[in-house]
Structure 1
Amino acid sequence: MSPTGLSRAFIDVRPLRTSPVFRRLVIGRTVSTLGGFMTMVTVMYQVWDMTHSTAWTGALGVAQAVPMVGVSLFAGAWADRTDRRRMYLTGTVGAAVCSALLAVQGFTGHVHVVVVLVLVAVQTSFAALGAPAAGVFVPRLLPKDQVAAGLALQQVTGQAMMLVGPAVAGVVLGWWGIGVCYLLDTLTFGLSFYGAYGLPALPPDGEKSRPGVHGVLDGLRFLTGHRAVRGALLTDLAATFLSFPVSLFPLVNAERFGDDPRTLGLFLSALAVGGVTATALSGPVTRFGRPGLVMLCGAGVWGAALVLFGLSTSPWLGLGLLVVAGAGDSASVLARSTIVRIHTPDALLGRVTAAEVIVGQAGPNLGNVRGGLLAGWTSGTVSLITGGLMCLAAVGAVAATTPELREESPRPVTP
């Protein structure tokens, strides 16, 4: 392969070269994401250390999921009525204040666990406020032919921090304690604020959203009426709600791999390694020009790899299949984000991004519940295999009923 061909195989970095504003934004959000994963691990550790109760650690998931879903719906409508830059900065400042308060209680150590959960819920609400606004940045800052590359850069940096953040948190917790972990997260918000502060004003391009519930309903009508966007979100639900495997890993490990804790720890790492690798080598994918086909194929690879993982008896083969599954999922998510941003008018993009965030958050959580319940009635292997098969069937149905996703090049809509 020629040097030019080899370079085109790697992630497309043109957005970093051509847009200083986008470059600052990516750097700031990458550092802040690192801090976010550190706080995620620290909160889990602190709640367990305070209570030694799985009920309280489960309540932590509720404190994160409920605000994310509830706030995102109305935040999306607000993002389509106001300056998205200012809205994102508001969310960033609010989340930083919550992180600082978590640091204070971490150093003092004299609060009830409910206080920690309330701070987490408020911080998640601010994150949900900023997420729909952030969803419009890439298509507004980059030319159309670089949108997929910009999304890939955001995705690969986020995945890399998902690998690094928990490890850094473990080291900091062991050496300096929970207060320092929260404080470091607070400091990372400074770079995130700096990256977004240099953005131009980004008001909606087109008719502003109606206030309140009416604006939310307008966004839902677009989602249900636009076949390509609807198909993209349904494909994501097929890969998460029908087949998300994480809750099954301990049971499958016990059933098939001798309950070896070293194997269990590698399962999640294998998914992340596959995702990072696929995104790092996403140059041909982002230049391919057919994100619908990439999304369908990626989701199909995810489902098929999970079926084969459920059938495998070799730990090393199983880990290899999880790497493949993570790669397929990463390609599918990148293509889905591209479809949503290319097909959605800017005046509706805040609301559609909010729906995308909700699907991305709720789908895996509900998928873990589905997988766990089915495994309780049958076995981990059966739940894993049937989930993968249902994913393949659902993706096939979306492909058969949504020809727009198979078009050679996406046709954006106009407001």
Structure 2
Amino acid sequence: MDTSDTSGTSGKSVTGGNSVTSGTSAGRTDGAPRDPGAEAPPVRGWRRWAMDTRPLRRPAYRRLWTSTVVTAVGSQLTAVAVPKQIYDITGSSAWVGYAGLAGLLPLMVFALWGGAVADSMDRRTLLLITNTGIAVTSLLFWVQAYLGLGSVPVLMLLLALQQAFFGLNSPARTASIARLVPAAELPAANALGSTVMQTGLVAGPLLAGALIPVVGLAELYLIDAIALCATIWAVYRLPALPPLGQAGKRRAGWREVVAGFRYISLHKVLLLSFLADIIAMVLGMPRALFPQLAAETYAPYGEGLALGLLFAAIPVGAVLGGLFSGTFSRARRHGLMVIAAVIAWGVAITGFGLSGSLWIAAAFLVVAGAADMVSMVFRGAILLSAATDEMRGRMQGVFTVVVAGGPRLADVLHGTAGSALGPRAAVVGGGLLVVAGTLLLATVTPALRRYRV
């Protein structure tokens, strides 16, 4: 999601609106476009509170965002179909869990390497290759289902391959945002993208559940593959996004991956933004306890209803946060917003753990989801604004690993604590630890709370 700069783009324009060429404002070295609306009068009335759509005025970003709208739902069709097919073949939830691990390792490895690749080649080209790879694997998923192979190893191999392509794709896609919109619009752009993804988490599984009895499981894969064609076309119409300066002369090896970690260690605000997310997700993500809470604490409401509400509440809160992103997207103290959002997450999770009413518990999770949206928006903005363009891919690769790995570590931690202490005590303890840990982080290391764009 990024665009051009004086030092490196091909001058190719995006048709259908304001062109994006290789020229940017004088003195800019990060590839970001100038902000013609920087001196525009402030937004007034109800529009100040609604979703901040300023980045959609920029044709290149708008095309990539529109493609995300399509694939956010389509990808969830495959995310539902794979575990459903594995369970149908084996009758075992354990095999469903093993499949998740089969996808996690290649995602993490290729996200780290993909960040280095994204910093050493044209990101538009990398997006074309990886989106094509994801589409081909979706098509292969459809072929094996259509032929009725019934092979779990084939499914796990295809899942690992698809997650590897996603790991290569994600850093390039996110790192591109800073080349498509000016720094002041990074929070709004992140909010738009995150809102779409969270909406997909809600709408995609619901759509999959409705389609399986009508068209069959195999066709879910085919629909996803067709939807990905829209993404490939949108990426094809982006301007070239080559590395700036001398970055394109480097090889994308593991030495460059290590250099990315060294870069994080030398830039305190980046390190602190990662730590804030780790505190929130590892200590405060209680989803592993949702089944037990639904079966025990909220059983009088109906176990099925309780489980559905608990799993849906956080994504719903995130979507609501995105729809009202105008309330926070113009804030310039990005570090302080991250700290406040993580603390709000911890308080909401604590309230959830203390709630005996299902509806009050769900309301606290909705608040937690909105707080998580704010945290995602400003952590993403910090990564894109505090890092140089030649390092943004690697920063996003690490970000992908943290986002993918944190909740899975939380599943182990909360599952263990829930068995030992009881689910509600584990949730409350985790929420309080998030608040205490974040306050300690903000007090001991003031770089994050002082950071502003």
CA shift, 1:207, in A, is 3.9
Pairing partner for 1:23 from 31, 45, 62: 62
Residue 389 of structure 1 aligns to which amino acid in structure 2? L
Structure 1 segment 133-172 matched on structure 2, within 5 A: 133-172=172-211
CA distance in 1, matches of 2:149, 2:419: 39
Match of 2:236 in 1: 197
Structure 1 segment 26-105 matched on structure 2, within 5 A: 26-105=65-144
Residue 85 of structure 1 aligns to which amino acid in structure 2? R
Q: Is the Cα contact below 8 Å between 1:243 and 1:388 reproduced in 2?
A: yes
Match of 1:129 in 2: 168
CA shift, 1:210, in A, is 4.9
Residue 103 of structure 2 aligns to which amino acid in structure 1? Q
Structure 1 segment 208-223 matched on structure 2, within 5 A: 208=247, 209-223=250-264
Q: Give yes or no for the alignment of 1:255 onto 2:296.
A: yes
CA distance in 1, matches of 2:121, 2:388: 15
Match of 1:286 in 2: 329
CA shift, 1:169, in A, is 0.8
CA distance in 2, matches of 1:314, 1:168: 29
CA distance in 1, matches of 2:118, 2:45: 40
Structure 2 vs 1, CA of residues 207 and 391 (structure 1 numbering), >3 Å: closer, same or farther? farther
Q: Give yes or no for the alignment of 1:187 onto 2:226.
A: yes
CA shift, 1:392, in A, is 1.2
Pairing partner for 1:385 from 414, 424, 428: 428
Residue 306 of structure 2 aligns to which amino acid in structure 1? T
The alignment of Structure 1 onto Structure 2 pairs a total of residues equal to 408
Residue 198 of structure 1 aligns to which amino acid in structure 2? R
Once the two structures are overlaid, the 10-residue window that deviates more, 400-409 or 32-41, is 400-409
Pairing partner for 2:370 from 321, 327, 331: 327
CA shift, 1:325, in A, is 0.9
Residue 382 of structure 1 aligns to which amino acid in structure 2? A
- Deviation string for 1:349-396 (max 9, x for gaps)? 010000000000000111111100111122111111111111112211
Q: Give yes or no for the alignment of 1:225 onto 2:263.
A: no
* Local SS of the residue matching 2:441: helix
Residue 47 of structure 2 aligns to which amino acid in structure 1? S
Q: Which runs of 5+ in 2 are unaligned?
A: 1-41
Runs (4+) off by over 4 Å = none
Match of 2:414 in 1: 371
Q: Which runs of 5+ in 1 are unaligned?
A: 411-415
Structure 2 vs 1, CA of residues 92 and 408 (structure 1 numbering), >3 Å: closer, same or farther? closer
Once the two structures are overlaid, the 10-residue window that deviates more, 273-282 or 205-214, is 205-214
Once the two structures are overlaid, the 10-residue window that deviates more, 310-319 or 113-122, is 310-319
CA distance in 2, matches of 1:222, 1:360: 19
* Local SS of the residue matching 2:120: coil
Q: Give yes or no for the alignment of 1:176 onto 2:204.
A: no
CA shift, 1:72, in A, is 1.2
CA shift, 1:141, in A, is 0.7
Residue 301 of structure 1 aligns to which amino acid in structure 2? A
CA distance in 2, matches of 1:206, 1:399: 35
Q: Is the Cα contact below 8 Å between 1:29 and 1:195 reproduced in 2?
A: no
Residue 129 of structure 2 aligns to which amino acid in structure 1? T
Pairing partner for 1:298 from 323, 331, 341: 341
CA shift, 1:10, in A, is 1.0
1 or 2, which has the higher helix percentage? 1
* Local SS of the residue matching 2:308: helix
Match of 2:46 in 1: 6
Match of 2:313 in 1: 270
Residue 250 of structure 1 aligns to which amino acid in structure 2? P
Pairing partner for 1:351 from 381, 387, 394: 394
Residue 46 of structure 2 aligns to which amino acid in structure 1? L
Q: Is the Cα contact below 8 Å between 1:107 and 1:178 reproduced in 2?
A: no
- Deviation string for 1:277-316 (max 9, x for gaps)? 1111111311011111111111111111111111111122
Q: Is the Cα contact below 8 Å between 2:111 and 2:167 reproduced in 1?
A: yes
Residue 387 of structure 1 aligns to which amino acid in structure 2? G
CA shift, 1:140, in A, is 0.2
Q: Give yes or no for the alignment of 1:113 onto 2:152.
A: yes
Give the alignment's Cα RMSD to 1 decimal.
Answer: 1.5
CA shift, 1:341, in A, is 0.6
Q: Is the Cα contact below 8 Å between 2:76 and 2:200 reproduced in 1?
A: yes
- Deviation string for 1:5-25 (max 9, x for gaps)? 2101111111112x1111111
Q: Is the Cα contact below 8 Å between 2:89 and 2:150 reproduced in 1?
A: no
Residue 225 of structure 1 aligns to which amino acid in structure 2? L
Q: Is the Cα contact below 8 Å between 1:233 and 1:356 reproduced in 2?
A: yes
Residue 291 of structure 1 aligns to which amino acid in structure 2? H
CA distance in 2, matches of 1:116, 1:145: 43
| Percent identity between the two aligned chains | 35
CA shift, 1:94, in A, is 0.5
- Deviation string for 1:62-110 (max 9, x for gaps)? 1211111111111111111111111111110011100000011111112
Q: Is the Cα contact below 8 Å between 1:307 and 1:384 reproduced in 2?
A: yes
Q: Is the Cα contact below 8 Å between 2:269 and 2:451 reproduced in 1?
A: no
CA distance in 1, matches of 2:86, 2:50: 41
CA distance in 2, matches of 1:199, 1:188: 18
Q: Is the Cα contact below 8 Å between 2:285 and 2:407 reproduced in 1?
A: yes
Once the two structures are overlaid, the 10-residue window that deviates more, 310-319 or 88-97, is 310-319
Structure 2 vs 1, CA of residues 377 and 184 (structure 1 numbering), >3 Å: closer, same or farther? same
CA distance in 1, matches of 2:402, 2:125: 25
* Local SS of the residue matching 1:236: helix
* Local SS of the residue matching 1:286: coil
* Local SS of the residue matching 1:38: helix
Q: Is the Cα contact below 8 Å between 1:29 and 1:191 reproduced in 2?
A: no
CA distance in 2, matches of 1:396, 1:204: 38
* Local SS of the residue matching 1:135: helix
Once the two structures are overlaid, the 10-residue window that deviates more, 92-101 or 386-395, is 386-395
CA shift, 1:271, in A, is 1.1
CA distance in 2, matches of 1:287, 1:167: 33
CA distance in 2, matches of 1:111, 1:103: 12
